[in-house]
Amino acid sequence: MEVAMVVDASVLRGSRVKQATYVWLMGLTANKGLCTYCNASPSTTLDHEDPVADNGADIWWNFLPACKPCNDWKRNRTPVEWLIDQKLHRAQPTVGFDTRRMPLLMFHGFEARTERVRREIRESGRRDWFRHHYGQARHKNKAEMLEHLDSCRKELSGYPHLPWSTPNVRTWAADVCARHICCGWRHPQARSVEAVILTDDQYSAFLKLAFAKGMSGGDFTAMLIRRALEREP
């Protein structure tokens, strides 16, 4: 106990950084918002898969969403170590490999579930989506983070598909969300105009006009096309 506290305070806790809001949202919405371990309670914490006490990284790829009771129960073990302890405990309950038996529903599929949520968290398209949409949000405390989480969940439930699973409508590198069913088109039946060819002069005039209207080039093009279509019979 004494040793653990010294290690935590001097080396490990001190190096921990506050995670950006979008990292929390990205983590807590994984596994449909449920705890990776029990798959039953809503996630409210980000568990370090490799424990901080074992030099586990304090970074998104080491996070698994968990409920508070599971996070506390797991303590400084990796999921694999926890599962081994649990198997030993089930074989020899009196030795003290673990404090209690996992319910069957939690025990079965534990490894596969952990692997699946790990893959979900590490998926780059998904991570980009959260960064693009919530990268600017900053929470001062956990209550504020949970408010962001609430609006994030509402936003996600408004899409017919998970937006990051739909194609990117822009192929060039731009650090914005351009997912088909999201910021790209906003409408599940929408189609994009493939290409518009302009001279250099026309193009810079177009950009200036769009800028003056406070619109992106794409939104401005869409507005012009819609206007033209409304005028046609």
Left if phi > 0, otherwise alpha if psi is -120 to 50, otherwise beta: which for 59?
beta
Nearest-approach distance from CB 61 to Zn ion, in angstroms:
20
Chosen residue from 82, 182, 185, 210 binding Zn ion by CB under 5 A = 182
* CB closer to Zn ion, 18 vs 186: 186
* Cβ atoms of 27 and 127 closer than 8 Å: no
Comparison of 112 and 212: residue with beta carbon closer to Zn ion: 112
- Overall residue count recorded for the chain in this entry: 233
If you compute the radius of gyration of the chain from its CA atoms, what whole number of angstroms results? 24
Alpha-carbon span 125 to 26, nearest angstrom: 11
Residue selected from 166, 183, 185, 210 as contacting Zn ion according to rule CB under 5 A: 183
Tell me, by CB under 5 A, how many residues bind Zn ion: 9
The token pair that represents 107 in the structure block:
């025990």
Partners of 64 in beta bridges: 47
Pair of tokens at residue 190: 């929408």
Q: What is the DSSP string of 106-154?
A: HHTTHHHHHHHHHHHHH-HHHHHHHHHHHTT---SSHHHHHHHHHHHHH
CB of 60 to Zn ion, least distance (A): 19
CB of 37 to Zn ion, least distance (A): 5
From 48-56, 107-115, 178-186, 202-210, give the range in contact with Zn ion by CB under 5 A. 178-186
In sequence order, the 6+-apart residues with CB closer than 8 A to the CB of 7 are: 53
Residue 28's closest CA among 121, 137, 114? Answer: 121
Which of residues 189 and 199 has its CB atom nearest to Zn ion in the complex?
A: 189
Candidates 4-12, 74-82, 108-116, 179-187: pick the segment binding Zn ion (CB under 5 A). 179-187
Minimum distance from residue 198 beta carbon to Zn ion (Å): 26
* Greatest Cα pair distance in the chain: 83
Any contact of residue 177 with Zn ion (CB under 5 A)? yes
Draw the binding track, 75-114, toward Zn ion (x: CB under 5 A; -: no contact).
----------------------------------------
Distance from C-alpha of 56 to C-alpha of 219, rounded to nearest angstrom: 44
Residues 20-39 that bind Zn ion (CB under 5 A): 35, 37-38
| Binding mask of the shown chain, residues 39 to 78, with x at each position contacting Zn ion by CB under 5 A | --x-------------------------x--x--------
Q: Is 121 in the site for Zn ion (CB under 5 A)?
A: no
Q: Which residues bind Zn ion (CB under 5 A)?
A: 35, 37-38, 41, 67, 70, 177, 182-183
